[in-house]
Amino acid sequence: MIKLNTILTFFALAFLVSCSQSENTVPEPPKVGSQSFKIIQENINGKDIVVVGSGQRNIVTAFEAGFGSVTLQFEPTSDFIPSVMKDQRGNTYNIFGQVIEGPDMGKSLKPVNAGMGFWFAFASRYPGMELHGEGTLDVNVNTDPDNDWLVPTQYVAQGAGFDAIQSLQSAKFEEYNVSQLDPDDKFYLNENDLVIAVNIDGEERVYPISILNWHEVINDEIAGVPISVTHCPLTGTSKVWRRPEFLDETTFGVSGFLYNSNLLAFDRVTESFWTQIEALCVFGDLKSEQLEVIPHVETTLATWTTFDISPLIMSDDTGIIRDYTKYPYGDYRTNHASISYPLAYDDDRLKRKERVFCVEVGGTAKAYRLSDF
């Protein structure tokens, strides 16, 4: 005979055990590297590149190391920001690689495909990739494409449907100036919040990651150039690309599919899938097409306002009700064990969610830690 009080006790205990709290852990700002800028200059896959960054300022960027066939030698400047480096010809450069003083004034270094992101994102996409100071690993991973895809489908997963995560079709901006802020009018970003700065023909816009965490793709236009600003919250990677003329400058959306846990965007003309990290079409009518990558800089709001004291920052008035002060994935960005989708390779040389800077040249990739700068 089952006793009633035994059963009630069971349910009471079960309820207590099942109670849990939500988490919304905010990552600590890095305390690594230097306040001043450091230069790393090297050859990747036959191309001379220059990587410039400051670990403590949480900012790294990379360019081809010269103009045309002329390779230049760079060193950090001791001047105040916005200059970050200079070359032997007497040119001084800003963080976008633009010559702001010197004989080549007005020219810009050619950007390379590079950006910040979680270590596991790059390590799974480029198995055995070079890690600065530690070399490469010899690993054997299946990267053969199958099923009409350009990538192995065993690492492709569907998390949601097309447009289930709403991309934005436009953006509003407001000038941000700390000295002019009303103390009672709290701005929705904190100084440690990450932002993406894009500069096209001298026009600059700043897109907060806290908005991109909810929408992943922002379709916008700067200086008449149609662009998509993208960020994948699961891999911590950002990319900006030009919306191509051959697609009538169409907007891009969030497909809900992931490759190595990384966003696959889709275009609204052919509904082909584009990998975010490489801006490459991997499935659909446009398979193998490459989008033109627009250089961007990812850093904290605090650092960015040292480059631009009154930047135009995207407004949280997106027309959609979201709390942009909240991170939508709990403790995911700080919990190194939390990975929900299959990865081609899980490289344990670094913790999975450590933010690193990755440069990719012709399919060869190299990662740099913030502590390298």
List Cα–Cα distances, 181 to 174, 185, 187, 309, 317, in angstroms.
12, 7, 8, 12, 18
Q: For the sheet with 92-93, list strands across it.
A: 74-76, 85-87, 92-93, 99-101
Q: Binding to other proteins by residue 140, rule CB under 8 A?
A: no
Of 81, 137, 157, 312, which one interacts with other proteins (CB under 8 A)?
Answer: 157
C-alpha 277/C-alpha 231 separation (Å) is: 9
Residues 41-80: x where in contact with other proteins by CB under 8 A, - otherwise, as a string: ----------------------------------------
DSSP element (H, E) containing 183 = none
Closer residue to other proteins, CB minimum distance, 9 or 136 = 9
Q: How far apart are the first and last CA of the chain?
A: 71
Using the rule CB under 8 A, give the single segment among 86-94, 160-168, 181-189, 354-362 that binds other proteins.
160-168
Residue 346: CB minimum distance to other proteins, A: 10
Tokens of 67: 């103009």
Tokens of 63: 């360019």
Q: Binding to other proteins by residue 285, rule CB under 8 A?
A: no
Q: Binding to other proteins by residue 154, rule CB under 8 A?
A: yes
All residues at 6 or more sequence positions from 239 whose CB lies less than 8 Å from its CB, including other chains: 115, 230, 231, 276, 277, 279, 293, 296
- Residue 190's CB is within 10 A of a number of other CB atoms, namely 13
Closer residue to other proteins, CB minimum distance, 257 or 357 = 257
94-133 residues in contact with other proteins (CB under 8 A) are: none
Residue 273: CB minimum distance to other proteins, A: 8
CA–chain centroid gap for 302, Å, is 18
Q: Binding to other proteins by residue 323, rule CB under 8 A?
A: yes
Residue 295: CB minimum distance to other proteins, A: 27
Closest CA relative to residue 168, chosen from 262, 247, 265: 265
Q: Binding to other proteins by residue 351, rule CB under 8 A?
A: no
Q: Which chain residues interact with other proteins by CB under 8 A?
A: 1-2, 4, 7-8, 10-11, 14-15, 17-20, 22-23, 147-149, 153-154, 156-164, 166-167, 169, 251, 253, 256-257, 268, 283, 320-323, 326, 328-332, 335, 337-343
